[in-house]
Structure 1
Amino acid sequence: MKKILTVLGVLVLAVILVVGVGTWLGGRGNENTPPTGPAPAPGETTGAEQPASCPAFEVIAAPGTWESRADDDPVNPTANPNSLLLNVTRPLQEAYGGQATAAGADGGVKVWTLPYAAQFRNINALTEMTYDDSRNQGYSRVSDELAATHGACPGTKFLLVGFSQGAVLTGDLATDIGNGNGPVPADTVAGVSLIADGRREDGKGTLVGSPAVQGIGAEIALSSVNLLVQPIVPGATMRGPRPTDFGALNDRVNQFCDPADLVCSAPRDIGNAIQRANDLVAANGIHARYSTNGNVVPGQTVPQWVVSWARGIIDAGR
């Protein structure tokens, strides 16, 4: 009985760490959501002419839990001034103007930040939207934005960036797009960067830096004990791994994970969870520190790397 309680205690700790990111940020079941509308085949484009007013690139950023709000401004988000992805979107807006501009000879760049609930109902916040509903809302809104831009601007290329809950839904969407089930053709997506993806696993996308990552995403690690998780975080289905890799996008997806971050590097089995319990307690703030942690990508922070990566693609493609 003591061992069972110890295991359950570690699992409870794991879930609380996953949902407790907002404390350090200063803020307060099913498979991937099916896309709406007909899905284009991988690589298929409409061949329609690109209007001169369209951006050459659109950067879509999906913030993490408690870093967004459903009614936030997607061009100038203010929901959480400590949002990690502001360290990506603001430099890109400063470099390229932020909104869709006349394409002209140089092309324009649109920077769009997902406005969604970004909540995670748990035993300490039972009035919040469930993780499943929040994630699905985010998936749907990014999907709609992609479809709307592609419908009006078929030549526009997309760069997708997500953190934490935003990385999970962005990774789910990239999986669908790369396998021909998404709202836009795979060849319109120039690249994807996922920071602390809760469904991260080896071989799906490219892990940038952090060669010492030994764990897997929390949704995968906790999927076998989903029923134990539900009383703690009701409506947060631990769905396990994504059904496939990123398909046509697999070599265009970057993954970032601190080896001590439980969200993307959770223990692979319960035995390891017990052995690492003290380590998990010591490392519980790591998930919130990608904007200052210089150890994930040597010599720079993850947001700095992502900004350089995005600028390289944009400058080469304009």
Structure 2
Amino acid sequence: MKKFLTAVVAAIVVVVIASGVVHWMSTSDVAGPDAPPTDGPSTPVQPDHCPRVEFIAAPGTWESAKGDDPFNPTANPMSFMLSITRPLQERYPANEVKVWTLPYTAQFKNINAQDQMSYDESREEGISTLEHELISMHQECPQTDFILAGFSQGAVIAGDIANKIGADGGVIPAERIRGVALIADGRREPGVGQAVGNGVAGVGAEVSLAPLNLVVQPIVPGATMRGPRVGGFGSLQDRVFDICAPDDSICDAPFNVGNALGRARGLVESNGVHAMYATNPNVIPGTTANQWVVEWAQGLING
């Protein structure tokens, strides 16, 4: 009997040891701490209804309204950005390329128009609305890429958003941006982004007038001149394209103290050069600004 019990105990010990060895081998030799995980990060699912690209247009001052239809804007039938968005809508079906125009209160209150929204308020509304579109679209369609284009105040808005995205502080990843076109950008700086067309010697009005905010505020209340964008366009530097007509005081303002009052008034008064980007042959040799942007956008979409 004693020998029998001894044999049973010995058999149990062997089984326990063998089980431990098997467990050790399965956790140490086969899938040790340096072994790669069995399930890697998966590519986000792109629903079938999502477009490949969304083209977002940001109109300039007086060319949009908060309640406007982003797919068929009618707030200003003469809006410059319509000469870009309409050809793209005609060229691509909506399920392939979504063309969306920023609806915001595009105003620039001066001292004689108290019932209008100030530049600061209008700009912030535009930024908030455009960023909300980027966020919601990226959440729904994570593999959709974006092209941004803006004119005048819309260029400031698109440029500010590109600045944040390029510096890794934006609302969507930089790799989802195919390109940005800024036409008559009020915060333009030479060497920041890629210049298109004939060169200009000046800078954006916000850069030119930033040291003179005390002069600007009595003429255009609530229009803070913020100077250049800190950090430029970061990782988007090679994907941001800058278009400025020579002598357009919005993007080609002199960088000096002289005639500050005249330059401040130029922000809200009629600017013949600023209103002719669709026809001005002196901006980009051989074409016009809107034609160039349409062809550039088509190249990005097709590519």
TM-score, normalization by structure 2 = 0.82
Contact 2:194 2:242 in 1 (8 A): yes
CA distance in structure 2 between the partners assigned to 1:75 and 1:160 by the alignment: 15
Matched, 1:89 2:85: yes
Distance change in 2, residues 1:46/1:124 (3 Å):
farther
Letter in 1 for 2:121: D
**1:204-229, Cα deviation, whole Å (9 max, x unpaired):** 10110112x00000001111110111
Matched, 1:49 2:37: no
CA distance in structure 1 between the partners assigned to 2:263 and 2:189 by the alignment: 19
Residue 222 of structure 2 is matched in structure 1 by 235
Letter in 1 for 2:211: S
Contact 1:46 1:154 in 2 (8 A): no
The 3-state SS of whatever aligns with 1:287 is coil
**1:64-94, Cα deviation, whole Å (9 max, x unpaired):** 0000000000000000011000010000000
User: Quick one: which of 306, 315, 318 aligns to 2:293?
Assistant: 306
**1:233-258, Cα deviation, whole Å (9 max, x unpaired):** 10000111111110110000000001
For structure 2, the residue ranges without an aligned partner over 5 or more in a row are 1-40
For structure 1, the residue ranges without an aligned partner over 5 or more in a row are 1-44, 102-107
User: Quick one: which of 155, 165, 180 aligns to 1:177?
Assistant: 165
Letter in 1 for 2:163: T
Letter in 1 for 2:205: A
Contact 2:216 2:261 in 1 (8 A): no
**1:8-48, Cα deviation, whole Å (9 max, x unpaired):** xxxxxxxxxxxxxxxxxxxxxxxxxxxxxxxxxxxxx9831
CA distance in structure 1 between the partners assigned to 2:189 and 2:45 by the alignment: 39
Calculate percent identity across the aligned residue pairs.
58
Residue 130 of structure 2 is matched in structure 1 by 142
Letter in 1 for 2:180: V
Residue 209 of structure 2 is matched in structure 1 by 222
Residue 205 of structure 1 is matched in structure 2 by 193
Matched, 1:291 2:291: no
Residue 140 of structure 2 is matched in structure 1 by 152
CA distance in structure 2 between the partners assigned to 1:284 and 1:306 by the alignment: 22
Cα displacement (A) at 1:268: 0.5
Matched, 1:129 2:117: yes
| Coordinate RMSD, CA, aligned | 2.1
Letter in 1 for 2:220: V
Matched, 1:78 2:64: no
CA distance in structure 2 between the partners assigned to 1:194 and 1:287 by the alignment: 13
Letter in 1 for 2:243: F
TM-score, normalization by structure 1 = 0.78
Cα displacement (A) at 1:259: 1.4
Q: Give aligned pairs, total.
A: 260
Residue 196 of structure 1 is matched in structure 2 by 184
CA distance in structure 1 between the partners assigned to 2:42 and 2:58 by the alignment: 26
**1:77-134, Cα deviation, whole Å (9 max, x unpaired):** 000011000010000000013x3x1xxxxxx100000000000110232210010010
Contact 2:212 2:260 in 1 (8 A): no
Distance change in 2, residues 1:80/1:271 (3 Å):
same
